[in-house]
C-alpha cells in the first residue's frame, strides 16, 4: 500500500495567497477560492509546508501492513504507524502472533531459537547464562587460581581445586605435612612445597611416600584390589586402585572433607569422589540450582527430571505427546501408514487415536475379524459359517 500524502490547507494570514516559495522540498502551492492556500507535497515529504520527510518512505511495514504518519505534537516531526493484517504484530508487523521468539525473550544479545510452537531456547553470548540469558556468567573470566576449575553456581562461583590447593579461589597452598597421620609412611620426613610435598625416607624404604619396602613382593598384602609390584633397588610396594591410598591401600580418604555442597545439601563420601544429596527445591551436582520440576512444567502427566548441569527440566512424555514440555499432541493418523488395519478410518484424539472399523472387523485397530456366528443367527438346527463381514447358514436337509 502506498504511503499516504499529507495534504494540509493552510491560510497564510496577512499575506497574499501562495506567497513566494511557501512550500518546501518541491511542494506545489494551491490557491483556493476562499483566499487560502495549501501545499501539495512531493512524494517522500509531509507537513504543512512539506517540511518533513515522510516516515513511511521507504516502506517500513512488513507482511502486508499499511503505513500512515502522525505527529504527536504540533509542528513536530511525524512518526510512522503500521496497521498489521491478522496474524502479525510488532511496530513493523515483523512478528507472527504467538511466536515464542517475538519479541525475543533472550536478553543481553542472546539469540532466540524456536523449539516448538510455544517454546524457545536462547543461545547466550559469552558472559551470560540462564534460560533467557538473564544471569551473569562469572566463569569465563576464570577467577580460580592455581589451575582451579570454575563451576557455575549463580549467583556465586565455586572453584574445584587441584590437589594441594584450597580456598574460595584455590588461592591457598595446603601444607600436607600438617596432616595427621603424616602422608610420609614408615617414618619418612615430610617437606612441604607449593601445591605438593616430598618425603625423605629412612633406609630400607623408598618411593614418593616411602611406601616401598626392600624385600620380596606378595600381592596378598595389598588391600581393596591393590597389586604388589617391584621397583628398582629391590624394593616392593602396592599400586592402589583410584579412591584408595596408604602403604597397603587400606585407606579410603574422606572425599567430603572440604566438600562444596550448597543450600543445605548433604555430602556422601564415595570411592575417590563424593556426591551431594539435595534438600527439596534444589538440584545440580552441588545443589546449586533451583529444581525446575517444582513448578510442574511438564504437561499431560509427563515425568519430570532435572538436568544436573543446567537445572533445566527434562520431560519424558506419555505416549501420544511430544515437545520439550510434552505440550504438543501427536497426530498418529498422519504418521506414516494408517494405524487402523483393514481400511479402518483413523481419528486423532488428545494423546491417542481411535479407529472406526469397516463392517466385519473389530478391535482397537480393526485388527480382528468379527465372528458373526457368535450371536447364533441360524435357526432350525442350521450350522453357521463365519465369512468376511457376513455369515452363511448351512441348513439341514
d(CA 394, CA 295): 67
CATH of region 28-96: 2.10.25.10
Q: What is the pTM of this model?
A: 0.37
Distance from C-alpha of 321 to C-alpha of 327, rounded to nearest angstrom: 7
Question: So what's the pLDDT on residue 10?
Answer: 40
Check pLDDT > 70 for residue 317. yes
Q: Are strands 8-10 and 390-394 parallel, antiparallel or unpaired?
A: unpaired
Confidence of residue 15 (pLDDT cuts 50, 70, 90): very low
Over residues 79-113, the pLDDT tens digits come to 888 989 888 888 889 888 888 888 888 999 999 98
pLDDT at 18 over 80: no
Angle, CA of 385, 391 and 395, to the nearest 5°: 55
C-beta neighbour count of 387 within 10 angstroms: 12
Q: What is the pLDDT of residue 375?
A: 82
3-state secondary structure of 245: strand
DSSP at 231: E
pLDDT confidence of residue 155: 64
Residue spans of the domains in the chain: they are 28-96, 254-290
Q: Do domains 28-96 and 254-290 have the same CATH topology?
A: yes
From residue 44, give the alpha-carbon distance in Å to each of 30, 126, 226.
19, 43, 87
Give the span between the Cα atoms of 110 and 121, in whole angstroms: 10
Distance from C-alpha of 54 to C-alpha of 37, rounded to nearest angstrom: 21
With a cut of 60, say whether residue 13 has pLDDT above it. no
Strands 361-362 and 368-369: antiparallel
DSSP code, position 323: S
Q: How confident is the model at residue 196 (pLDDT cuts 50, 70, 90)?
A: very high
What integer pLDDT is reported at residue 175 of this predicted model? 94
In CATH terms, 254-290 corresponds, of 3.40.50.620, 2.40.110.20, 1.10.260.40, 2.10.25.10, to: 2.10.25.10
- pLDDT per position as a tens digit, 282-295: 888 888 888 889 88
Q: Running DSSP on this structure, what letter comes out for residue 251?
A: B
C-alpha cell at 255: 572425599
Query: With bands split at pLDDT 50, 70 and 90, how would you rate the model's confidence at 215?
Result: confident
Residue 165 has pLDDT above 80, yes or no: yes
The number of beta carbons lying within 10 Å of the beta carbon of residue 122 is 22
Query: 215-227 burial, b for 16+ CB within 10 Å, e for fewer?
Result: eebeeebbbbebe
pLDDT band at 170 (very low <50, low <70, confident <90, very high): very high
Backbone φ and ψ for 346, nearest 5 degrees, come out as: -100, 135
Amino acid at each position: 500500500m502506498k504511503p499516504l500524502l499529507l495534504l494540509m490547507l493552510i491560510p497564510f494570514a496577512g499575506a497574499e495567497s501562495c506567497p513566494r516559495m511557501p512550500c518546501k522540498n518541491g511542494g506545489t502551492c494551491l490557491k483556493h477560492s476562499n483566499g487560502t492556500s495549501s501545499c501539495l507535497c512531493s512524494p517522500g515529504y509531509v507537513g504543512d509546508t512539506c517540511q518533513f520527510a515522510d516516515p513511511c518512505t521507504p516502506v517500513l511495514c512488513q507482511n502486508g501492513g499499511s503505513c500512515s504518519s502522525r505527529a504527536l505534537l504540533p509542528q513536530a516531526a511525524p512518526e510512522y504507524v503500521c496497521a498489521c493484517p491478522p496474524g502479525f504484530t510488532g511496530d513493523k508487523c515483523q512478528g507472527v502472533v504467538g511466536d515464542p521468539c517475538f519479541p525475543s525473550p533472550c536478553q543481553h544479545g542472546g539469540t532466540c531459537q524456536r523449539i516448538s510452537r510455544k517454546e524457545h531456547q536462547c543461545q547466550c553470548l559469552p558472559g551470560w547464562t540462564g534460560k533467557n540469558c538473564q544471569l551473569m556468567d562469572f566463569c569465563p573470566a576464570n577467577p580460580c587460581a592455581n589451575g582451579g576449575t570454575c563451576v557455575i553456581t549463580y549467583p556465586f562461583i565455586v572453584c574445584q581445586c587441584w590437589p594441594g590447593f584450597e580456598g574460595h579461589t584455590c588461592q591457598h597452598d595446603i601444607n600436607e605435612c600438617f596432616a595427621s597421620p603424616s602422608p610420609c609412611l614408615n617414618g619418612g620426613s615430610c617437606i612441604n612445597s607449593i601445591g605438593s610435598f616430598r618425603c625423605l625416607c629412612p633406609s630400607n624404604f623408598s618411593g614418593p611416600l616411602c611406601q616401598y619396602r626392600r624385600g620380596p613382593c606378595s600381592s596378598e598384602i595389598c588391600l581393596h584390589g591393590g597389586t604388589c609390584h617391584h621397583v628398582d633397588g629391590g624394593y616392593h610396594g602396592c599400586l592402589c586402585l583410584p579412591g584408595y591410598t596408604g602403604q597397603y591401600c587400606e585407606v579410603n580418604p574422606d572425599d567430603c572433607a572440604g566438600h562444596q555442597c550448597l543450600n543445605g545439601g548433604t555430602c556422601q563420601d564415595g570411592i575417590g569422589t563424593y556426591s551431594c544429596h539435595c534438600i527439596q527445591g534444589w538440584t545440580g551436582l552441588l545443589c546449586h540450582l533451583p529444581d525446575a520440576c517444582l513448578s510442574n512444567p511438564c504437561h499431560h502427566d509427563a515425568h519430570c527430571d532435572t538436568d544436573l548441569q543446567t537445572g533445566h527440566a527434562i520431560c519424558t512424555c506419555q505416549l501420544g505427546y511430544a515437545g520439550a514440555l510434552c505440550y504438543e499432541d501427536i497426530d498418529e493418523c498422519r504418521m506414516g501408514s494408517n494405524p487402523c488395519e483393514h481400511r479402518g478410518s483413523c481419528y486423532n484424539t488428545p494423546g491417542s487415536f481411535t479407529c472406526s472399523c469397516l463392517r466385519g472387523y473389530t478391535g482397537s485397530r480393526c485388527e480382528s475379524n468379527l465372528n458373526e456366528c457368535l450371536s447364533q443367527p441360524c435357526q432350525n438346527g442350521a450350522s453357521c459359517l463365519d465369512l468376511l463381514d457376513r455369515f452363511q447358514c448351512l441348513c439341514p436337509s
